[in-house]
Chains A and B, each alone.
Chain A
């Protein structure tokens, strides 16, 4: 009768009030360099972190990616942000990977990579893409600064239980179609507010056959469909990914954990508040044309015409997006030139993402007039890519090969896209100004980004790769 959400929820319930408000215990609290205000809230109340061993910190948003020298930060305010994380976590005894540590990276890449995010856990972080960790069968969601302070002080959080939505993906993805295409297709289908108030469980054969990297990408963008969390029930793919990672249990503890994890799935007769289903075989390479992740279409299409919108409000919204994006209705997507390419982020900065982009870049050159970057999601992803020779492929093609961080997904470290520049980006948000004031972002998979880099336009990656 129970969903996976029910099972994780009930295990973490400390107190439930008559009105349904529930105090939940937090297993893992990730902190990044934007956590300063929460520590300040604690200081003002004279409180200290209750369970520092359950927290882990890594700077990612403000770190420079052209150098590992903190002095390379663009201004004093950024340095203060970085120093605050060091000071706050140092004083509290919270473990941290610094910028000089080879394991540093984006918190949502590092947590799973270290085996710190595991099935059945309740995981929070002051960052909306915390939904990523749900790929391991955890209940993981983003929180604001007040909630970060609350978790630091109490190791617990008041929540109203979200409704349960299941998105079942049947069939299998066609060759060259990635998890990114799938999640963009899902968001286009249900809308950016489609899952507000819900936790999404992704299920079905197409999800089961995704790699861990692919599941992390799908869960990562749950928040772009309105869901604070997205989950995939753990299975052999999950266990194979976790086994041997630095923080994963070992020996008898591993066997015991495995036995517990195997029970973490929605029962056959579990009742969901909402069910959505999708045919994987129908998913084409996707990209976004507007300023909401729901504005996604197949690359084979054209810029939509506001004249065809269902109502005046929608028409106005589309026109506003086209004006901002500098696009004319009816233009084939593959006719649109790009000036920037960004491959990285917590959505698509993992080794599999870099491999798929390198497969397209190999033996080709970045088009004239295009500035293309690869920013690995972590130092370990970077090292792995270098061991596989991917860095050479990218550099020979004319890509910049940089250090790990959030970089141009949000641009607060100075890695911005200039106003008016069009960027093919493997990130998660195409909001106005997201990559910098006036920047024009098109979301797509890393392979599609690489295709855009080498052709100089938005491009159908299927035309560039040999299909076996």
Chain B
């Protein structure tokens, strides 16, 4: 997994609540293998959501509440990632999307609803305005220079910072799993 420490880039604004993963990648593209470019099908049926900026310019997407709700398709994260995005800022995320994001070096940043609304307003005034995210310091710097701290579980933060592979880490715990299985009784 690609490590992620700091990002500083133009931001893509998707000023909507409940952007579901069916919108991020319509279901008919799910049979494509991972080796294909999912960036080209990001918001396929609503391409206008991608704004005017060229692909790759924005590394950060800012959206309304419950971003990535709905289907568990990891393809939604792959599409954002392949398009060049590396982080999303929203008041909340779909739980499964958030978990998928963390497995792919994509940072979901939760900020209060008012703060996100403020960022979206400044992006509406100045499309493509730049944001900075510092994962080590757990802070987002918005246009105008104000910094906002965000929370993230230490384990997720560590995995992202080091590009740590969760599965490889778990395999180091194989002895613990085997030990658990020895005495485990089905419920």
Q: Which residues of A contact B (CB under 8 A)?
A: 8, 11, 14-15, 17, 19-21, 23, 25, 27, 34, 36-37, 40, 45, 50, 62, 77-78, 80-81, 118-121, 126-128, 141-147, 149-150, 153-156, 158, 160, 162, 192-193, 196-197, 223-224, 226-228, 260-261, 264, 292, 294, 313, 317, 320, 410-412, 429, 431-434, 437
Contacts and interface: CB of A to CB of B under 8 A. Distances in A.
Contact of B177 (A25, A317, A412): A25
A127 B72 contact: yes
A154 B30 contact: no
Given A228-B95, A313-B15, A150 B70 contact: no
Contacts of A118: 187
B17 A317 contact: yes
A432 B45 contact: yes
In the A-B complex, the 8 residue pairs with the closest CB atoms: A120-B187, A193-B66, A144-B100, A146-B103, A144-B74, A21-B155, A19-B154, A145-B74
Interface residues of B, number: 53
Given A8-B187, A149-B167, A196-B66, A19 B153 contact: yes
B115 interface: no
A223 B99 CA distance: 14
Interface stretch (B53-61, B126-134, B136-144, B168-176): B168-176
B96 interface: yes
Contacts of A20: 153
A412 B31 contact: yes
A431 B70 contact: yes
Contacts of B66: 192-193, 196, 226
A437 B171 CA distance: 42
Query: Looking at A36, A119, A144, A260, which has the most chain B CB atoms within 10 Å of its CB?
Result: A144
Interface of B: 15-18, 20, 22-23, 26-28, 30-34, 45-46, 64-66, 69-74, 77, 92-96, 99-100, 103-104, 117, 153-155, 166-167, 170-171, 173-174, 176-177, 180-181, 184, 186-187
Contacts of B32: 77
Nearest to B104: A146
Nearest to B174: A154
A144 B171 contact: no
Given A25-B184, A192-B66, A193-B69, 10 more contacts: A21-B153, A34-B30, A144-B96, A145-B100, A193-B18, A224-B70, A260-B187, A411-B27, A412-B28, A431-B20
Contact of B100 (A146, A193, A261, A433): A146
A17 B155 contact: yes
B187 A437 contact: no
B177 A433 contact: no
Contact of B93 (A34, A145, A196): A196
Nearest to A192: B18
A52 to B, nearest CB: 14
A313 B174 CA distance: 49
A145 B97 CA distance: 11
B72 A143 contact: yes
Contacts of B184: 25
Counting chain B CB atoms within 10 Å of each CB, the highest count among A80, A153, A264 belongs to: A153
A250 to B, nearest CB: 14
